[in-house]
Amino acid sequence: VAGDIAKVAEFFSFGTNDLTQMTFGYSRDDAEGKFLPQYLDAGILKVSPFQTVDEEGVGRLIKMAVKEGRAARKGLSVGVCGEHGGDPDSIDFFHRVGLNYVSCSPFRVPIARLAAAQAAIKHA
């Protein structure tokens, strides 16, 4: 599907908050206020998937879409918007899968810029 969309789209922008909710099948508000702390305490999840992108689930979907999209449209611009755009671990992952940009809340911009620079140096 990503390849077909890329044929007519100029860019992909993943809304990682919504993508995380749909992939995991639960609402962020319900999860954070009710069962997510228990999942973290029990070791079911290592970190909140709403804090740091889940590389094996949501991340894998993003990686597949980037690969298929760029196979159909060379130079396709790809990025993310949402809370993950300001998380250093998520930004490192996004760099590794070839995203062009992240978008985040204004107060997270300094962290995002530093994390993006660190990822670029680390993976140069």
Residue-range domains of the chain with CATH:
2-122 (3.20.20.60)
- Residue 84: predicted pLDDT: 97
Which alpha helices (H) appear in 1-124, and where do they start and end?
A: 2-6, 16-24, 28-30, 36-41, 58-72, 88-96, 109-122
Structure tokens at 24: 């995991």
**Contact indicator for 93, 55 with CB cutoff of 8 Å:** yes
Q: Measure the N-to-C terminal CA separation of the chain; round to a whole number of Å.
A: 31
- Residue 79: predicted pLDDT: 98
* Cβ neighbours around 42 below 10 Å, total: 8
SS3 13: strand
- Residue 63: predicted pLDDT: 98
* Cβ neighbours around 78 below 10 Å, total: 21
Show pLDDT as tens, one digit a residue, over the chain (124 residues).
Answer: 999 999 999 999 999 999 999 999 999 988 998 999 999 999 999 999 999 999 999 999 999 999 999 999 999 999 999 999 999 999 999 999 999 999 999 999 999 999 999 999 999 9
Question: Could you identify the residue written with the tokens 């590794």?
Answer: 96
Q: How far is CA 67 from CA 32, 43, 77, in A?
A: 32, 32, 12
Query: What are residue 44's phi and psi, to 5 degrees?
Result: -65, -40
